[in-house]
Amino acid sequence: MKLIERLRADFGRFSFAPNDICRWLPEENTIYFAEDEAQLLHELGHALCGHRGFVQDVELLRIERDAWEKAREIGAKYGIEISDEQIENALDGYRDWLHERSKCPKCGQNGVQGRIGGRYRCLNCDAAWDANDARQCALRRYKQK
Ligand SMILES: [Zn+2]
Ligand SMILES: [Zn+2]
């Protein structure tokens, strides 16, 4: 039986829907998945961890790591191995992306992100910019474009 069919049977409390982008959408209680089984498990990891989004970018990395750890735990039960390297690679994609996000659009220095609203501010030139349009796992795909 295919992984997705087993997951559908074992995790009936979530909906699973094929899509071109993998993501967990808490508002719809739905896991969207593509071909990548590790990524599918990762999204399920988000669902099982109860992730609902994030405010600060630093939280994103923690959320992503938690979802991968969960994915590895579930994967083991289904005979799918997720290596440390695979997890670190995925997280590196986020790190690069976050680094870009924090860069000041005016002077190129790295800004700091406020606790409320996720808005960045540059300490060098005082520019401010929004970076709260991010959506968990869609980021990775977005970055690859
Ligand atoms: Zn600046
Ligand atoms: Zn994720």
pLDDT 10s digits, 90-143: 898 888 888 888 899 999 999 998 877 778 999 999 999 887 555 445 444 333
Please provide the distance, in angstroms rounded to a whole number, between the alpha carbons at the two ends of the chain: 33
**Angstrom distance (rounded) from CA 8 to CA 22:** 16
pLDDT, mean of residues 62-88? 95
Count of structural domains within the chain: 1
Q: What is the domain range of residue 91?
A: 3-144
pTM of the model: 0.80
The Å distance, Cα 104 to ligand 2 centre, comes to 25
Whole-number pLDDT of residue 143: 37
The Å distance, Cα 30 to ligand 2 centre, comes to 14
Going by C-alpha positions, the residue among 44, 9, 11 that lies closest to residue 26 is: 44
The Å distance, Cα 122 to ligand 1 centre, comes to 5
Q: Which ligand sits nearest to residue 87's alpha carbon?
A: 2
Question: What is the residue whose two structure tokens read 């209680």?
Answer: 29
Nearby residues for ligand 2 (ion, Cβ within 5 Å)? 64, 67, 136-137
